[in-house]
Amino acid sequence: MSLVMPPPDPATLARRAEIVAAMRAIVPGEGVIDALEALRPYESDALTAYAQVPLLVVLPETVEQVAAVLRWCHENRVKVVPRGAGTSLSGGALPLADGVLLGMARFNRVLDIDYADRVAVVQPGVTNLAITRAVEDAGFYYAPDPSSQIACTIGGNVAENSGGVHCLKYGLTTNNVLGVELVTIEGEVVRLGGRGLEPAGLDLLGVIVGSEGLLGVVTEVTVRILPRPETAKALLIGFPDVESAGVCVAQIIAAGIIPAGMEMMDKPAINAAEAFVNAGYPLDVEALLIVELDGPGAECGHLTGEVEAIARAHGAVSVQASRDDAERALFWAGRKAAFPAAGRISPDYYCMDGTIPRRRLPEVLTRMKALSEQYGLGVINVFHAGDGNLHPLILYDANQPGQLERAEAFGADILKLCVEVGGVLTGEHGVGVEKRDLMHTMFSETDLAQQQRVKCAFDPELLLNPGKMFPELHRCAELGRMHVHRGQVPFPELPRF
């Protein structure tokens, strides 16, 4: 493993039998896994380039058990890595050799559905798609839809602030979560937010969503559910080059049109997805846009015509509209299967995640092509074009010496390019370990210190998911404490909490 993780603590490793016994006392039966072969499935998440067997795995079933596990680990200075379904693409759930892996898979119930308030209350192990399945008979759905929605869990979505193809119009996870129940490292159960649209006080919920398991363990989530749109229609729009498609994306948004989703795929991605799904994609184009419009029938029909006109004016060579919901779903099935489709054409792939201003899309795609030639590795592009969230898939063979290292360097250059043109390191996959050592390209030392102070406020002993997000995690004491001189604090006029 080329990635450097915190070295395991020999004293903790020596106490393994004691830790296993303590966890079995809290979570009896089959709730503790400590046999080596049984631990293997937990050694990595979907970023399979990096793997490490955990000290042990604990699978609690109740909030009380989660609180007891965290309390014991806090009191005994044992590290904890929370884990959902393991679909993270940034190594966010990569375990530690000297840490307890806290698996939340058994928290898999839908607790309440309130159609009047348009909310659902679910446990973190409920899959993303299962929320929609639970409410679709009443004409509702849950809007954020990551490509892995059949497997990824809502707890993991909260940790990474996951997106999806329909987040252009309806927002990311943070825009659709109203409240959480959270257990701190000390074992305290707290609630943030709730069923109301605008909770009073500090926006601590906004701090938790996207915090990647560094601040606490979520045990319950209240999400917003939406009525199904009256009409939805998807367009497949083919272009002779990716630059024309990129310009079209910017022009659609500039025209004041916000599609429900707007995705782009380049020719290698189109060919791979079509061979895998048979979605009806045109194979004689260099770039494909999938644009979905939804809303009242008249509005949807009008906007469909507007988008087609913009596309034709910017070089589109083909436009195909979905004839019914089944065909619309098929169009999206090809896009959502693009990642596994890449697995059919390459032994391994490295899925990146960076975000850029839409207007820089043609330039970035051109420069990524040059990087591909420089590193001698193929790349296929599938991404959320509407919000500039890129997902280049770098193709490599881990069995060939040096290819993983070249893929890592290629990926790092893509992310540096995103920041250079005014974008950010991640759009929805999180930082995890994948982007951890690139944080300095986007944040100053002062920025990172401020972020670490938030970490210290929730987890003073730095026991939750260490080794993630921060390239150099300072001890809380190193970040400086408030200096009190002769009983006088600085800025005494400010209220203290």
CATH number at residue 148: 3.30.465.10
Residue 170, H or E segment = helix 167-170
- Tokens 């974008």, located at residue: 423
Name the band, by pLDDT with cuts 50, 70 and 90, for residue 362.
Answer: confident
Q: Are residues 208 and 273 in the same domain?
A: no
CA distance 330 to 308: 20
Range of the domain at 257: 230-345
The backbone region for 75, taken as left when phi is positive above 0, alpha when psi lies in -120 to 50, beta otherwise, is alpha
Q: What is the pLDDT of residues 221-268, one digit of tens each?
A: 999 999 999 999 999 999 999 889 988 998 999 999 999 999 999 999
CA distance 47 to 93: 9
Specify the number of domains making up the chain: 3
Share of the chain above pLDDT 70, in %: 96
Q: Are residues 22 and 56 in the same domain?
A: yes
- The string of DSSP codes covering 44-59 is --S-TT-----SEEE-
Q: Are residues 135 and 163 in the same domain?
A: yes
Final residue of a structural domain among 69, 103, 137: 103
Residue 16: which CATH number? Answer: 3.30.43.10
Q: Are residues 118 and 222 in the same domain?
A: yes
Burial, 113: exposed, middle or buried (Cβ in 10 Å; 0-12, 13-18, 19+)?
A: middle
What is the pTM for the complete model shown? Answer: 0.91
Q: Are residues 206 and 291 in the same domain?
A: no
79 in any annotated domain: yes
318 in any annotated domain: yes
Report strand pairing: 379-384 vs 389-396.
antiparallel
- Tokens 């406020």, located at residue: 457
Q: Are residues 190 and 236 in the same domain?
A: no
Residue 249, H or E segment = helix 242-254
- The string of DSSP codes covering 103-138 is E-TT---EEEEETTTTEEEE-TTSBHHHHHHHHGGG
Q: Are residues 236 and 286 in the same domain?
A: yes
- Tokens 């680990």, located at residue: 73
304 in any annotated domain: yes
Name the token pair of 421: 């043109």
Contacts 24+ apart (CB under 8 A), 439-448: 439/469, 439/470, 439/471, 440/471, 441/415, 441/416, 448/472
Q: Are residues 129 and 205 in the same domain?
A: yes
| pLDDT of amino acid 484 | 45
Q: What is the pLDDT of residues 472-487, one digit of tens each?
A: 878 888 876 544 445 5
